[in-house]
């Protein structure tokens, strides 16, 4: 087992002057499951390949435990990698695929057989050991790839989008198995995905990247509750957080026909930056529905509180429903998503009046994108 440290690790591809990974600084604890997530081209796979030794490190350093592995070849790093496309040998049986790395390393046959059987038991693959990969389903092949990594007993597992070739139901099932397996084995794991739901459900901590830069690294719960900037706020969460630019007013922000209280520190920080507006973030589940006419909290006796959302689409999910609608905020039409009671969903074309819950508001600087609220 080992810690992993990215110490200002940088990768610049030949012919480019912009780093694919720019001074990445992350310390991963012994036995931790860290997920690297972000949109395509953000540098997450490059970061993983730098740790694996498959990409050069042009600046900074990478350490596994106390060893500086920045310029070591992959075979000397004591890591095992699980690829997106499984990378199994088609002419070998499952048992031979799982034990191949040990055979190359000169381990005796009895020990290889024992380790392969132990891994197969953990992964529920015992009855498939004599089969070839073509006789297995996608989920079974992925478990064979996992088994091949497990038998090597490496210090670090590296996984590059291992579930992306599976169908939706199997992805959910397999991600649960991988997370449970990692906790049982206690091996430090770095996992890359573009799927933020996967990241939030599997990782002990999640690191969000954008354009090669680390945006935030935190536990899934903290990242959901306190996104560090506008990018993380919009990326983490499904459906995404509603982000709306609103004017600052006395004691809070003007949200449609209501003034929503905001902390004095957030307003002071915005004023210090010269901002007259802030961008507020509201999760779909943090809107309250209010009555139509002259509601409490409204700036006008005649106008309803909050904003009027015209319902365009309703997604009914059983217990919950999500309303996808449009509202006029600050003179502009904005898309708004609101979670509603699944047994009492509004009709398409109807109008809802919604106000954000004061304690659940996220406030960001419109100019810099930084978080301003506590």
Three-state secondary structure readout of 288-337: EEECCCCCCCECCCCCCCCEEEEEEEEEECCCEEEEEEEEEECCEEEEEE
Tokens of 234: 């919009």
**Pairwise CA distance, residues 158 & 36, whole Å:** 11
Whole-model pTM: value is 0.89
Q: Which stretches within 72-131 are classed as H helix?
A: 94-104, 109-122
- What pLDDT shows up at residue 265? 86
CA dihedral (225, 230, 233, 236) in degrees, to 10, reads -140
Tokens of 204: 């002990």
- What pLDDT shows up at residue 303? 61
**Pairwise CA distance, residues 293 & 307, whole Å:** 12
- What pLDDT shows up at residue 309? 94
For the stretch 210-263, pLDDT in tens is: 999 999 999 999 999 999 999 999 999 989 999 999 888 887 888 888 888 888
- What pLDDT shows up at residue 84? 83
Which residues, in sequence order, are bridge partners of residue 6? 26, 62
Rounded (5°) CA angle 372-373-374 = 125
Q: Which portions of the chain are predicted below pLDDT 70?
A: 1, 292-303
- What pLDDT shows up at residue 292? 57
**Continuous segment of H or E residues that includes residue 259:** strand 258-261
- What pLDDT shows up at residue 294? 40
Q: Which domains does the chain have, with CATH numbers?
A: 4-232 (3.40.50.300), 239-365 (2.40.50.140)
DSSP assigned state of 166: S
Tokens of 295: 């509601």
- What pLDDT shows up at residue 70? 96
Contacts of 265 by beta carbon, 8 Å cutoff, 6+ apart? 372, 373, 374
Closest by CA to 340, choosing from 350, 329, 328, 330, is 350
**Pairwise CA distance, residues 264 & 202, whole Å:** 36
């Amino acid at each position: 087992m080992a810690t992993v440290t990215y110490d200002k690790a940088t990768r610049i591809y030949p012919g480019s002057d912009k780093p694919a990974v720019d001074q990445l600084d992350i310390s991963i604890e012994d036995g931790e499951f860290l997920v690297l997530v972000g949109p395509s081209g953000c540098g997450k796979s490059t970061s993983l390949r730098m740790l694996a030794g498959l990409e050069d490190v042009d600046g900074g350093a990478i350490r596994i435990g106390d060893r500086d592995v920045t310029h070591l070849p992959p075979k000397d790093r004591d890591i095992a990698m699980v690829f997106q496309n499984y990378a199994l040998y088609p002419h070998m049986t499952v048992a031979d695929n799982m034990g191949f790395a040990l055979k190359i390393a000169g381990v005796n046959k009895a020990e290889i057989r024992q380790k392969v059987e132990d891994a197969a038991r953990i992964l529920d693959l015992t009855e498939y050991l004599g089969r070839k990969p073509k006789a297995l389903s996608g989920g079974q092949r992925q478990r064979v790839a996992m088994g091949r990594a497990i038998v090597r007993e490496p210090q670090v597992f590296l996984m590059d989008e291992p579930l992306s070739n599976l169908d939706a139901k199997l992805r959910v099932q397999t991600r649960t198995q991988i997370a449970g397996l990692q906790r049982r084995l206690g091996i430090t794991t770095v996992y890359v995905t573009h799927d933020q739901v996967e990241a939030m459900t599997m990782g002990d901590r999640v690191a969000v990247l954008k354009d090669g830069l680390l945006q935030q690294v935190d536990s899934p719960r903290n990242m959901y509750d306190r996104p560090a900037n506008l990018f993380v706020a919009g990326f983490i969460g499904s459906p995404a957080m509603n982000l709306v630019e609103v004017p600052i007013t006395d004691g809070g922000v003007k949200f449609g026909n209501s003034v929503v209280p905001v902390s004095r520190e957030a307003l002071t920080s915005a004023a210090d930056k010269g901002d007259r507006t802030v961008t507020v973030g509201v999760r779909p589940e943090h809107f309250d529905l209010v009555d139509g006419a002259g509601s409490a909290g409204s700036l006008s006796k005649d106008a309803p509180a909050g904003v009027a959302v015209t319902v365009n689409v309703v997604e009914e999910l059983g217990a919950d429903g999500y309303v996808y609608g449009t509202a006029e905020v600050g003179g502009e039409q904005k898309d708004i998503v609101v979670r509603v009671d699944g047994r009492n969903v509004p009709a398409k074309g109807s109008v809802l009046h919604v106000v954000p819950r004061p304690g659940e508001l996220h406030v960001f600087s419109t100019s810099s994108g930084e978080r301003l609220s506590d």
